[in-house]
């Protein structure tokens, strides 16, 4: 879209018009948003179905919470990008730095900080069961 808009500004021609480039971007963002919503639905089903399993097979509660928070933050960003692109390249949403920082940049930073701050060692159970149901050694005792 940037290339098409730059060519228009310089009075040159490009392979696609800025409108066509924006339509391509919108289609990709729509697909990405729908895929994220499907992922959240499938994640919800997995979490709900794991509640009926023995406690060793359940998804850890903290892991489920982190996945939901991360997913919703990234869905917020994708939805904002969709709305921003639908409004146009020179719209209020596209040209306001506060909206960019708060709805496009901040969700990604918060998601990264969330996963950096809470390591997988804190989220995943230390003891796991093997295929036959016997306890395997913990990760720490295997490394010793």
Would you list the domain boundaries of the chain?
A: 2-126
Q: What pTM was estimated for this model as a whole?
A: 0.73
- Residue 78's Cβ-count burial label (10 Å; 0-12, 13-18, 19+) is buried
pLDDT tens, position by position, 21-66: 889 999 999 999 999 999 999 999 998 888 888 776 778 889 999 9
Element (H, E) at 90: none
Average model confidence (pLDDT) across the chain: 83
The pLDDT value given to residue 72: 96
Burial group, residue 81, by CB count within 10 angstroms (0-12, 13-18, 19+): buried
The band of 94, judged by pLDDT with boundaries at 50, 70 and 90, is confident
- For residue 113, the Cα-to-chain-centroid distance in whole angstroms is 14
Q: At what angle do helices 61-87 and 106-117 cross, to 10 degrees?
A: 170
Q: What does the pLDDT look like over 100-128, one tens digit per residue?
A: 889 999 999 999 999 999 988 888 876 65
């Amino acid at each position: 879209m940037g290339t098409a808009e730059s060519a228009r500004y310089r009075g040159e021609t490009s392979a696609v018009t800025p409108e066509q480039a924006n339509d391509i971007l919108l289609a990709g963002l729509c697909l990405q948003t729908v895929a994220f919503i499907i992922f959240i639905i499938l994640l919800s089903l997995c979490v709900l179905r794991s509640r009926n399993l023995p406690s060793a097979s359940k998804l850890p509660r903290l892991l489920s919470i982190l996945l939901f928070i991360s997913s919703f933050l990234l869905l917020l960003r994708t939805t904002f990008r969709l709305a921003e692109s639908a409004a146009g390249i020179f719209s209020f949403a596209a040209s306001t730095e506060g909206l960019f920082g708060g709805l496009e940049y901040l969700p990604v930073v918060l998601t990264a900080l969330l996963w950096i701050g809470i390591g997988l060692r804190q989220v995943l159970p230390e003891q796991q069961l093997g295929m036959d149901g016997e306890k395997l050694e913990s990760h720490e005792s295997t490394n010793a």
